[in-house]
Amino acid sequence: MKRTTPLRAAVAALLLTVGLGAAHAGAANAAPLPDPAATAPPASAGLLDAMRRDLGLTASQAEERLRAEKAASAADKAARQAVGGAYGGSWFEPGTGRLVVAVTDRAEEAAVRALGADSRLVRHSAATLDRAKARLDTLRAPAGVASWHVDPRANSLVVTVVRAERNAPAVREFVEKARSNGPVAVTVAETAEAPRTYAAGTVGGDPYYTGNVRCSIGFSVHGGFVTAGHCGRAGAAVRGWDGSAMGTFQGSSFPGDDYAYVGIHSGWWTVPVVLGWGTIPDQLVRGSGEAPVGASICRSGSTTHWHCGTVLAKNETVNYSQGAVHQMTKTSVCAEGGDSGGSFLSGDQAQGVTSGGWGNCSSGGQTWFQPINEILGRYGLTLHTA
């Protein structure tokens, strides 16, 4: 950032103190130091507080869940490689604290269990499910269709429709086309409202601005930050939280995708943290390991600050009024106007940038994010990590 607040200065001083302290201890004592990762909490106190509030967990339960989810993420990556084409998707079960991996070949179940995960035998592989969804993505959806995604638990596709529009002829026609699209079963779910993006007009806070739109920074990358594509087009100028010139949108995509990259001017700098807006400690970002379906997840934005929930679905196509956006992750986290572009984290791992949703943080709702690793790959960026 361009200017240093007391909170940001404290974070910088803490990082420097920790680094110098470790170096001094190493010089004074040749004995090996304990691994900080083994004793440090898996996330900041602020993020753990948000998990306790929104997920109904105790402090120890929140820490235990984050550690289990980190292990599940590693197991999922290994399982994909181990079972190959038999991989049918995966999800995290909070009740057991374990990952469940679906496979199409019974002979591969032992390989999954050897990795510390549970297995489930299914009919369709993840590749088959993804192809079925890709065919569905070619259809034009009416406004009454909110989204569609692969459900690994049910080994099927789910089409979510707006409750009041369920029996509209155009919605029924879309569902019938989906069901005639191949061997994969299609089920229908309902949502209370149609999805919308979370950009907002200029108001106060700690945001960034483009034109008369306020959005939230997602994650620092070397050279700038990533955010939502609907917040600004390539070439648009960006003003910082203090109103001064901050940078320019170097790339942006919406609809189809909902991501963007902002390059920052000299005088501004990036840090591997997600801001707590002065109410909770900032959260350090240490990587971008992808959390599985069922994992806890938290979001930070300039309007509603910290809120938590769970990952509900991946690779979902969301049908905004401006057009469909693909490969989104759906969560039970709430958001409101101005939160667009903000950070989704699982523990200290970056997950994605806020796109849109329905509801609010008073009555509840659901929010989608564009996965961070897709954005990094699209623009050839490197996440700034601690």
**Residues in the chain, how many?**
386
User: Could you confirm whether 340 is annotated as catalytic?
Assistant: yes
Nearest residue to 195 (alpha-carbon basis) of 147, 252, 239, 246: 147
Nearest residue to 258 (alpha-carbon basis) of 319, 341, 195: 341
Rounded distance between C-alpha atoms, residue 251 and residue 234, angstroms: 5
Rounded distance between C-alpha atoms, residue 384 and residue 386, angstroms: 7
Q: Helix/strand/coil (H, E, C) string of 188-214?
A: EEEECCCCEECCEECCCCCCEEECCEE
Rounded distance between C-alpha atoms, residue 386 and residue 36, angstroms: 14
Residues 6+ apart with CB under 8 A from 188: 158, 159, 160, 161, 166, 175
How far is the CA of 303 from the CAs of 50, 92, 276, 310, in angstroms? Answer: 15, 30, 12, 20
Q: What is the DSSP letter of 286?
A: -
Rounded distance between C-alpha atoms, residue 235 and residue 356, angstroms: 23
Three-state SS at 141: coil
User: Could you confirm whether 149 is annotated as catalytic?
Assistant: no
Asked if 231 and 372 count as a contact pair (C-beta separation under 8 A), the reply is no
Element (H, E) at 297: strand 296-301
User: Could you confirm whether 307 is annotated as catalytic?
Assistant: no
Residues 6+ apart with CB under 8 A from 20: none
Catalytic residue among 73, 252, 340, 355: 340
Backbone angles phi, psi at 187, to 5 degrees: -115, 160
Backbone angles phi, psi at 50, to 5 degrees: -65, -40
Catalytic residue among 149, 230, 305, 307: 230
Residues 6+ apart with CB under 8 A from 371: 290, 327, 328, 329, 351, 352
Query: Which residues are designated catalytic?
Result: 230, 258, 340
